[in-house]
Amino acid sequence: ALPHPGCTDIVCCIFFIVAIVGYVAVGILAWTHGDPRKVIYPTDSMGQYCGFGEKNERKKPLLFYFNMMKCASPMVLLEFQCPTPQVCVEKCPDRTMTLVTAVGKIESEDWGYYKSYCRADPGTKSVPQILQEKLCPAYLISSKPCKAFRCFPSLGKKGEVITVGDQETFNDGDKIRDAKDLVAGMKNATIVMEGRQVAMKIFEDYTKSWYWILICLLIAVVVSLIFIVLLRYLAGIMVWVMIVMVIAVFAYGIVHCSIKYVNLKDTPGANITLQQLGFQPDFSVYLHIRQTWLAFIIILAILEVIIIIVLIFLRNRIRIAVELMKEASRAVGYVMSSLFYPIFTFFLLTIVIAYWGVTAVFLSTSSEPVYKVFNETVCPHARETCIPENFTLSNMKRDCPRSECLFAFYGGETPYHKYLIFLQFYNVFLFFWCANFVTALGQMTLAGAFASYYWAPNKPNDMPAFPLCASLGRSLRYHTGSLAFGSLILAIVQIIRVLLEYIDHKLKGAENKFAKFLLCCLKCCFWCLEKFIKFMNRNTYIMVAIYGKNFCRSARDAFFLLMRNVIRVVVLDKVTDFILFLGKLLIVGLVGKFFFFFFFNQRENEIMTVLVGSYLIAHGFFSVYAMCVDTLFLCFLEDLERNDGSPERPYLMSENLLNVLKKKNQAN
């Protein structure tokens, strides 16, 4: 049995538990105040949700703007709200008419139709009264609903002239205007809702194709398991098969992209650049541009060349690494349950991600409706906060008779709303900490199981009956504090990187080149620091699993052990990591090709999801092998330093690993 003198890093364990309790409190606070409907449903001028609520309100899912041209104001991009009344309607207007025309036919069907787009029933009021009180729009324009549940004018083209409802002009109740006057307002309104439109587009795509995506991800699971089983028995052959197939898959990708690039040569509109096209919510549009396929060709060709060059230089080292993988295959064979441990890690990570996402949504929607003064002319109270219930009797209305108190955005002035940004920060920080803790728990659990295999004098008789469960129990009982300590260090670096990205986003328009250079250097340094900490944490957890020491002592021992054997680290450990990485790429390529061939015509936008999901699944299964190799490698180095192979101090490594050592010495 591995030595475990007692609990390690108790102070950090207590601190982590307190932080988790605080995280739960933040979640409860967010769920109490939040309302996700603010993200899902559009909101009218009174802060009411369109398509949600009472029976009558549910029948009105669309938002209608009284005067779309008011959205052309630059303040729209600052306030994220058009300075015109907005009402929830059952359907968008399908005809063009003015208020004067409709009132003139008060007994006709037109007036009843027109009143359905009013904020309230105007009764027998005159047209000037209706417009002054802004009860009804001055005009209606033939419109169509967009995917963000807004009514936008039905713009078209006759030659080079913009039309609305097949007409080049329209009457706004005051004068005849050109249809092109609506374009600026529509652009600003589109910017306001663009993020939501993209999210809805992605959501709609997933609802239509989730079962095909799930099938492909299940195929990725099956292929990964087949590869792992084959590695157990045919490690040497499988490594070279993986290498050849990876090169073949990349070559096929280059050929396929080249064919697409050539076929689009004479296609109208295919020769525009990605910069000219700009951002499009429908990502399939990019696949009809030649420059997209050219970029794919360049990326795949560069990767192909890099892989071939690396393989040429490492061909001798790969033979040695294959022997280490064979030994890892034997260890995995004795601890077969370790292959399914990534499912447990994935389950815990899903809980962490779901909790963070739900809490973030509730925090971002836990504000209250804020109303502001909007006026068409100069007003001293413009953009000031107002109360709609008593606005008509207020001094603001008296000073600005034509002003309106309209819903602007969600916010608040209570202490809770003032510290909302800190709660969001706490939510992100705890997300990083918890996600890193779950990953660290998996690494230490696997390391303990495989270390028990290595240090067993008689394999497998001297191994625990259930090595994985025993290792998980030791990790949680004795080393929760050490896991929390390492995860905390990594989370601090990650949150600093997030802050640097935020600052970089804010400084994009700045002209200070020194500040940009300094920020770029900081981002690079912290990226390197994060990679180094991940590497050291991984080896530290292995040492904690072997000796049961605290995090700092284990980190020191792991660091100096690796430094004393730095050549072996590069020769064996990193070459093995490269081979496993090629295996991941092969699985992604096979599953991606399958999805591309069978579902490309119907599922263009989902292929990226399949590729990323397949890589994560392959990474989950191959991470078991990688952890096994790292653990055996560290135990191997410890064995070399503690023992000399004599009868008094015999090596505990297997004959195969001893052969690896001899081959390595011969290679050097």
Fill in the DSSP letter of residue 62: E
**pLDDT average, residue stretch 34-48:** 72
Task: Compute the C-alpha angle 536/537/539, nearest 5°.
Answer: 65
Question: Residue range 229-256: average pLDDT?
Answer: 81
463-508: per-residue pLDDT in tens?
Answer: 888 899 999 999 999 999 999 999 999 999 999 998 888 888 777 6
* Mean local confidence (pLDDT), 279-285: 61
- Please report, for residues 65, 251, 253, 303, 550, the alpha-carbon distance to residue 247 in angstroms, rounded to integers and kept in the order given: 57, 6, 10, 10, 44
CB-facing half-sphere around the CA of 399: CA atoms within 13 A: 11
Asked whether the predicted pLDDT for residue 20 surpasses 90, the reply is: yes
Residues 586-624: tens digit of each pLDDT: 888 888 777 766 655 555 556 777 777 788 888 878 888
Q: How far apart are CA 82 and CA 66, in angstroms?
A: 10
Crossing angle of helices 341-364 and 607-642, rounded to 10°: 130
Please name which of 441, 421, 400 lies closest in space to residue 83, comparing C-alpha atoms: 400
Of residues 398 and 537, the one with the higher pLDDT is: 537
* 249 CB-near residues (< 8 Å, 6+ apart): 585, 586, 589, 590, 593
- Predicted confidence at residue 443, as pLDDT, reads 93
* C-beta of residue 182 within 8 angstroms of C-beta of residue 155: yes
- What are the pLDDT digits (tens) for 350-368? 899 889 988 988 887 776 6
Determine the angle formed by the axes of helices 480-506 and 467-478, rounding to 10 degrees: 70
- 194-206: pLDDT as tens digits: 444 554 555 555 5
Q: What is the pLDDT of residues 407-452, one digit of tens each?
A: 666 666 566 677 788 888 999 999 999 999 999 999 999 999 999 8
- Percent of the chain surpassing pLDDT 90: 18
Residue 179 CB burial class (10 angstroms; 0-12, 13-18, ≥19): buried
How far apart are alpha carbons 5 and 550 in whole angstroms?
10
pLDDT(77) > 50 = no
Lowest-confidence pick of 97-101, 122-126, 511-515:
511-515
169: which strand partners? 178
For residue 156, what pLDDT is reported?
A: 63
pLDDT for 195: 46
pTM, whole model, 2 decimals?
0.69
| 500/492 Cα distance (integer angstroms) | 12
The position carrying tokens 């706490």 is: 426
Q: Check residues 231 and 533 and name the one with the higher pLDDT.
A: 533
* pLDDT for residue 516 is more than 90: no
For residue 349, give every residue at least 6 positions away whose Cβ sits within 8 Å of its Cβ, in sequence order, or none: 435, 438, 439
Convert the pLDDT of each residue in 283-333 to its tens digit: 567 777 888 888 889 999 998 898 888 878 777 667 767 777 778 888 888
Average of per-residue pLDDT values in the chain: 78
pLDDT at 593: 74
At 471 the pLDDT is 92
Q: DSSP code of 571?
A: I
Amino acid in the structure at residue 85:
P
Q: Which of 1-15, 70-84, 598-612 has the lowest mean pLDDT?
A: 70-84
Q: What is the mean pLDDT of residues 113-134?
A: 82
Name the pLDDT band for 168 (thresholds 50, 70, 90): low
- Count of residues in the chain: 668
Instruction: Read off the DSSP letter of residue 43.
Output: B
pLDDT surpasses 80 at 149? no
Least confident of 162-171, 182-191, 521-530, 590-599: 182-191
Please give the average per-residue pLDDT across 508-518, as a whole number.
75
**Of 197, 199, 198, 206, the residue nearest 613 (C-alpha):** 206
